[in-house]
């Protein structure tokens, strides 16, 4: 991955712990989702985006009975600036993720991320709020606040239910939004197992993904009419490594 700077500190970051929160600065690698071979919304296919990330240190459940049903939970808040993004220089990447485990057999996650601002783009608080509130896709290139992706994921563990060391998992991510839900979606489904063979645990998985929008439209996912460089950094996708026109089914 190219870098024109004299010194290459790829992957370097620092972190401090404040009460139960970790605050990291630098090139922090992120992987949002249960997949092994890819994540539809945030993966390590591209060089880490320089910025900061905040998350919990201890993922224990809430103590209050009003929220304890959520179980173990985690959040991530992240903000940074894309490197060598010539389409709109100095584009910001801002996102968040929330995961919870309401039972010992089910994990749920929700993620949202946006490309916002940059050279020649609106960068006011009102523009930022419009992006957060989802007031985008205006059709007006001058005032459209950004490019967003959002989605959900899950993992269902059969071990606690029937004693079988197998889990199903999946992810859906939308390039657009309709009725407060993802639309123009990409999909990922997988099956993993961790059987024991004597003293050894054998780990295996099979995973399928389709980054064509709704399974039939190429070059929609990870592309945008303003941020014409797409959802990429230095030519590498910030989402799934297979980019925007692929169905694949790897195993391991």
Q: What is the pLDDT of residue 73?
A: 97
Question: What residue spans define the domains of the chain?
Answer: 13-248
Q: What is the pLDDT of residue 225?
A: 87
Of 117, 210, 108, nearest to 151 by C-alpha is 108
CB 88 within 8 A of CB 120: yes
Q: What is the pLDDT of residue 130?
A: 87
DSSP result, 192-207: EE--EETTEEPPEEEE
The Cα–Cα gap between 110 and 43 comes to 15
Half-sphere CA count of 8, side-chain side, radius 13 A: 7
Fold category of 13-248 in CATH: Porin (2.40.160)
| Residues pairing with 115 in the sheet | 93, 147
Cα separation of the two ends of the chain = 26
How confident is the prediction along the chain (252 residues), in pLDDT tens digits per residue? 555 555 555 668 899 999 999 999 999 899 999 999 999 999 999 999 999 999 999 999 999 999 999 999 999 999 999 999 999 999 999 999 999 999 999 999 999 999 999 999 988 899 999 888 877 766 677 778 889 999 999 999 999 999 999 999 999 999 877 666 777 888 999 999 999 888 899 999 999 988 876 555 566 788 888 899 999 999 899 999 887 665 666 665
The Cα–Cα gap between 118 and 23 comes to 24
Half-sphere CA count of 35, side-chain side, radius 13 A: 32
Contacts of 132 (CB under 8 A, 6+ apart): none
Of 43, 103, 29, nearest to 73 by C-alpha is 103
| Whole-model pTM over 0.85 | yes
Contacts of 94 (CB under 8 A, 6+ apart): 78, 79, 80, 113, 114, 116
CB 78 within 8 A of CB 50: no
Q: What is the pLDDT of residue 74?
A: 98
């Amino acid at each position: 991955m190219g870098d024109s700077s004299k010194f290459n500190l790829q992957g370097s970051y620092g972190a401090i712990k404040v009460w139960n929160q970790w605050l990291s600065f630098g090139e922090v690698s992120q992987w949002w989702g249960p997949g092994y071979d890819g994540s539809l919304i945030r993966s390590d296919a591209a060089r880490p985006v320089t910025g900061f990330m905040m998350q919990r240190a201890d993922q224990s459940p809430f103590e209050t009975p009003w929220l304890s049903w959520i179980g173990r939970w985690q959040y991530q808040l992240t903000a940074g600036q894309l490197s060598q993004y010539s389409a709109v220089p100095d584009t910001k990447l801002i996102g968040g993720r929330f995961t919870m485990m309401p039972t010992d057999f089910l994990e749920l996650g929700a993620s949202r991320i946006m490309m916002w601002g940059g050279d020649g783009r609106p960068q006011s608080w009102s523009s930022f709020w419009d992006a957060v509130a989802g007031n985008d896709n205006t059709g007006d290139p001058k005032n459209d606040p950004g490019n967003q992706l959002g989605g959900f994921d899950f993992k269902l563990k059969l071990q606690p239910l029937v004693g079988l060391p197998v889990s199903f998992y999946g992810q859906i991510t939308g390039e657009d939004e309709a009725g407060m839900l993802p639309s123009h979606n990409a999909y990922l489904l997988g099956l993993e197992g961790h059987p024991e063979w004597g003293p050894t645990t054998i780990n295996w998985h099979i995973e399928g993904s389709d980054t064509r929008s709704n399974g039939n439209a190429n070059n929609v996912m990870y592309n945008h009419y303003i941020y014409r460089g797409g959802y990429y950094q230095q030519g590498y996708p910030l989402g799934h490594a297979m980019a925007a026109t692929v169905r694949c089914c790897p195993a391991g």
